[in-house]
Structures are given as structure tokens and as C-alpha cells.
């Protein structure tokens, strides 16, 4: 598969794809005798993993470390396991921030919906939707 086809498939630029290869986020890609990158199914798997993990906020450094460990072989299974667990915890923590913001936003939307129906803006519940405090704007 050509670089253009890979970029189209994953919605990334060729500069991004070349950068991923240059810094070790994906292993070096096989080239044709003419020097053109020729992505194999294995290469595509690495690109898919990189794009997925990057879109979730995984730092480049963790991805390059993962690839480095993978290339060292099965003696690094425990290290790769630990690295992925650490990355997952970071992503879960980030997701919790978004969930908290969405919950607060949903509460505010419900208050405004009620205000549009009744003609009165009433913050009878706190920002979390409970009666723990009254919000004033």
C-alpha cells in the first residue's frame, strides 16, 4: 500500500506518517527498490495503533518506547504490559475530566430547558444536579 493510500485510510497527512516512522512510533517501513514506501499489513497494523493511541492522547514518547520494547522481543512483555496500563490510566483520567464537564453541561442545559418552558431561570439544584448547593450566575 502506498503512503497516499495509508494516509487516506487513516485520515492523516503524509508528513505525520513520515514523522511517526522517523521518531519510531511505527517501525521502519519496507521500501521498493526505487525507494518508495510499501506498507504491508503489519505496517498498517502499526499505523492503526499509532493513530488510535494518539487520538486518545497517548504521548509520542510512550508510543516510541512501546515500539522499542516490542522490537526487543518477548523478554519485554512485562514492560509493555506496564506501559500500556500506565497509558490506559492516563486516558481514563482524561476521560473522567470530560465526563465531569459533560455532566455539568447537561445539568445546565436541563435548567435552561426548564427556564424556557416556565419563563423562570431557577437554580434549585447545584451544578451537579443535586440539592447540595444553589448556583448563581
The whole-number pLDDT of residue 128 equals 55
The pLDDT tens digits of the residues spanning 5-35 come to 999 999 999 999 999 999 999 998 999 999 9
Mean pLDDT by groups of 10 residues along the chain of 137 residues: 96 95 92 94 95 91 94 96 94 94 95 93 66 48
What is the domain partition of the chain in residue ranges? 3-72
Determine the CATH number of domain 3-72: 1.10.1660.10
Verdict on whether the full-model pTM lies above 0.75: no
The whole-number pLDDT of residue 123 equals 85
Q: Residue by residue, what is the 3-state secondary structure of the chain?
A: CCHHHHHHHHCCCHHHHHHHHHHCCCCCCCECCCCCECCCHHHHHHHHHHHHHHHCCCCHHHHHHHHHHHHHCHHHHHHHHHHHHHHHHHHHHHHHHHHHHHHHHHHHHHHHHHHHHHCCCCCCCCCCCCCCCCCCC
The whole-number pLDDT of residue 124 equals 73
Amino acid at each position: 500500500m502506498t503512503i497516499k493510500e495509508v494516509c487516506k485510510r487513516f485520515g492523516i497527512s503524509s508528513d505525520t506518517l513520515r514523522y511517526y516512522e522517523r521518531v519510531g512510533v511505527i517501525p521502519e517501513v519496507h521500501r521498493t527498490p526505487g525507494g518508495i514506501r510499501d506498507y504491508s499489513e503489519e505496517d498498517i497494523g502499526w499505523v492503526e495503533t499509532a493513530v488510535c493511541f494518539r487520538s486518545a492522547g497517548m504521548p509520542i514518547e510512550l508510543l516510541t518506547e512501546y515500539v522499542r520494547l516490542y522490537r526487543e522481543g518477548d523478554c519485554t512483555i512485562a514492560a509493555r504490559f506496564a506501559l500500556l496500563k500506565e497509558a490506559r490510566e492516563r486516558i481514563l483520567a482524561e476521560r473522567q475530566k470530560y465526563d465531569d464537564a459533560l455532566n455539568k453541561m447537561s445539568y445546565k442545559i436541563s435548567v435552561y430547558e426548564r427556564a424556557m418552558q416556565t419563563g423562570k431561570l431557577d437554580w434549585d439544584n447545584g451544578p451537579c444536579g443535586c440539592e447540595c448547593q444553589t448556583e448563581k450566575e
